[in-house]
Amino acid sequence: MTDQDEPIIHRPGGARRPDQGSVPPPASPPSASPPPAGPTRRIVPGPAGPPPQRGQRPPPTQRLPQPGPGRQQNPPRPQQAPPPNIQYGPPPADARYQPQRAWSQSPSPETQTARPAQRPAPPVMGYNRQPPRQPPQGPPRQVGPAPQRPPERGRTRRRIPIIRTLLILLLVMVLGTVGLIVYFDTKLNRVDALSNYAGRVADSAGTTWLLVGSDSREGLSDEERAELSTGDSEGSRTDTIMLVHYGSGGKPMIISIPRDLYVDIPDNGAHKINAAFAIGGPQLLVQTIETNTGLRIDHYAEIGFGGFDKMVDAVGGIEMCLDAPINDPLAGIDLEAGCQTLNGREALGFVRTRAFANADLARVVNQRNFMAALMKKSTSFSTILNPFRLWPLVNGVVNSLTVDNGDHIWHLARLAWALRSDPITVTTPNAGPVITDDGDSLDWGDNTTQFFKAIADGDPVPPELLQTG
């Protein structure tokens, strides 16, 4: 066999052919047995590399088939070009030996090869499925407050009709209230009471109302006159004259002017003050009060019998406390002593009666106390928030009041609101009883002038001038 027929065996350390000056293997010791007969083999060293590590098997030598009888040697395979990005040559010094063989379970732990790490299987992608998101790389992101979740569209759509309904109801209530106020304002009875005259006094401090209680039976049927014990007298006379003053810095005041107060009536001489209403009506009464007191009248209201009882019944009655029982057949009342609630008929008799020792002076005290209690009850929340009380009350006010041409129902509401917080009730001070051409009268004194001057100037009234009885 020639050198070309010798088999080639790869062994670490590189391959050398005999013709390149390879060193023959050392001779075996004398005691070794001679090599077997047969064709000679050549050992070609394999690629150089580091020795195998412990636990790893070195790559086996590749044995090429030997030509034998009837067996032809395969022609050498053409050498293929190496794939790109593959580096040839000895591996770096720090590289570890990685055998290129499959993992096998060997019974010897020294010859077991490490099982290569398995790559996780890719996720199964379904229809319209997105691959799992990879965690972001880089520094941690600053986490701020969680964004508010927008309201659901369906819930917002349900809220819109509710809000719209509430707004519509509120608008209807406001428009309805305004409409009723305008309606009742047009139903008020009006008279020209505050007309200007020559030499009228200038404006005074605060706001002053003139309240006149007349015995007019206008608007009452025969049955109502009999029930209320008003009598059948025609015409109107003034039984009550009161001034209500507020807005000058102090507490509101209800001032009773006795009807027997002796004063000068313009162009008519000296008479009792109630004669001015009988002579010239509201205009002459306003002029008489302004010229004698120096206090300018800003609003006028006349209270009659008609509708007064309905106004009291509308608020559920008025509670009054009596020091002594009152029995007056002319007024149609029989009341016991103590605190009690008066209905409309009893209230009308209570403000009209003179069944007292001092007659008219005691009556004006009862009228002031009743007026203050009525205003307080009318402006309470139990009345304002109850339409079954509020509108009958307004209707009773409209039927029982006559106001000046420049007065409106909101002026009356302002008057009631001013008197809701414990006003001062006082009787006009005077110089005492006196006999005049009109009979028993009350004389006008210096204390009377001083009292009204303090009110007109907005000054506090001296305590000695405040007669509450």
**Which string of DSSP letters, residue by residue, matches 35-84?**
PPSS---EEE-----PPPPTT-PPPPPPPPPPP-TT-PPPPPPPPPPPPT
SS3 content of the chain, % helix, strand, coil (to 5): 30, 15, 50
CB-CB neighbours of 225 under 10 Å: 16
- Which span out of 185-189, 328-332, 443-447 was modeled with the highest average pLDDT? 443-447
Quickly state the pLDDT bin for 129 (edges 50, 70, 90).
low
Work out the widest C-alpha separation in the chain, in whole angstroms. 184
Quickly state the pLDDT bin for 1 (edges 50, 70, 90).
very low
Which of 16-30, 216-230, 247-261, 273-287 comes out lowest in average pLDDT? 16-30
The torsion angle over the Cα atoms of residues 432, 428, 190 and 274, rounded to 10 degrees, is 0
State the DSSP H helix or E strand holding residue 440, giving kind and residue range, or none if neither: strand 439-442
Quickly state the pLDDT bin for 119 (edges 50, 70, 90).
low
Quickly state the pLDDT bin for 153 (edges 50, 70, 90).
low
Mean pLDDT of 107-129: 56
Which of 122-136, 165-179, 314-328 comes out lowest in average pLDDT? 122-136
Give pLDDT tens digits for 266-323. Answer: 999 999 998 999 899 899 999 999 999 999 999 999 987 666 788 888 888 999 998 8
The conformation of residue 111, written as its DSSP 8-state character, comes to G
Q: At what angle do helices 409-418 and 387-400 cross, to 10 degrees?
A: 110
pLDDT more than 70, % of the chain: 60
Mean pLDDT of 405-429: 90
Mean pLDDT of 90-118: 54
Q: CA 136: distance to chain centroid?
A: 46
Query: How are strands ordered across the β-sheet holding 299-303?
Result: 189-191, 401-404, 299-303, 207-214, 238-246, 253-256, 424-427
Q: What is the mean pLDDT of the chain?
A: 75
Mean pLDDT of 148-164: 67
Confidence (pLDDT) at 445: 93
Which of 35-39, 169-173, 195-199, 373-377 comes out lowest in average pLDDT? 35-39
Confidence (pLDDT) at 81: 61
Domains of the chain: 186-465 (3.40.630.190)
Mean pLDDT of 59-86: 57
Q: How many CA atoms does the CB half-sphere of 380 hold within 13 Å?
A: 14
Is the Cβ–Cβ distance between 293 and 255 less than 8 Å?
no
Confidence (pLDDT) at 150: 61
Mean pLDDT of 17-27: 49
Which of 270-284, 350-364, 423-437 comes out lowest in average pLDDT? 350-364
Mean pLDDT of 341-368: 84
